[in-house]
Amino acid sequence: MARAFPQAGEEVRLPGVRLVRTGAGYDLLAAGVGPALAAASTATALTAAALDGSPYDVVVSAGIGGGFQPGAPVGSLVVADAITVADLGAETADGFLPVTELGFGTVTHRPPISLVRGVSEATGARPGTVLTVSTVTGTAARAAELRARHPQALAEGMEGFGVAEAAAAHGVPVLEIRAVSNPVGPRDRAAWRIGDALAALTEGFGKLAPALESWNTHDQ
């Protein structure tokens, strides 16, 4: 992704976070793996910017992910119209209950739909729900369970909901983009195509800036 910003970047030192300020007006943050670290890293960057008097306009969570087949083939891009945490809740004898059905919390954040549409048109990313999981799906049974609970799901990753929670706490719009590196289903490391997915993500990022900038100017 950083390859999509060829201008030299300046490192900004923040506690526990590696942030690079590109010459193009975007900050790049390696947010770490999993929703908790991604939330903590994002919140650190958002808080530092707010205290500095220069809050962010938008947060983009990007990475590789699993794709639900046939909607999101390996190598394709997905942009989230819903960022949903799939495993935050309680297991019961009658099945999984999300925290919202227990009476508290949040399970979904919705990026601005005009931004999702603009990014989809600019990059070719397919719009759909992106699930956040703490455990990578590794069986057909779990994939089927997730699909039954989230029929609109196109992809799963491990960070989007954490990033979205931090962005929501700061009142900043959020976007999630996943490049599909593997199908969601039975674990098969030989089928992972991480290089292809990263290449697709870099190409998508090259087309993202104009979409973000035109949305900022016209659609907010």
Ligand X SMILES: O=C(O)c1cccc(C(=O)CC[C@H]2O[C@@H](n3cnc4c(=O)[nH]cnc43)[C@H](O)[C@@H]2O)c1
| Interface positions with ligand X (CB under 6 A) | 33, 63-66, 133, 136-138, 156-159, 181-182, 184, 187, 189
Minimal distance, residue 92 CB to ligand X, in Å: 24
Measured distance CA(146)–CA(187) in Å, rounded = 15
Measured from the CB atom, is 158 or 172 closer to ligand X?
158
Measured from the CB atom, is 44 or 61 closer to ligand X?
61
Minimal distance, residue 214 CB to ligand X, in Å: 28
Measured from the CB atom, is 66 or 204 closer to ligand X?
66
C-alpha 87 chain-centroid distance:
16
Minimal distance, residue 155 CB to ligand X, in Å: 8
Measured from the CB atom, is 81 or 159 closer to ligand X?
159
Measured from the CB atom, is 118 or 183 closer to ligand X?
183
Measured distance CA(160)–CA(201) in Å, rounded = 15
Minimal distance, residue 206 CB to ligand X, in Å: 21
Minimal distance, residue 54 CB to ligand X, in Å: 28
Measured distance CA(144)–CA(90) in Å, rounded = 19
Residue nearest to ligand X (CB): 66
State the Cα angle at 76 between 82 and 129, rounded to 5°: 10
Measured distance CA(55)–CA(191) in Å, rounded = 41
Residue 107's contacts (CB-CB under 8 Å, 6 or more residues apart) are: 84, 85, 88, 89, 98, 99, 100, 161
The helix/strand/coil state of 12 is strand
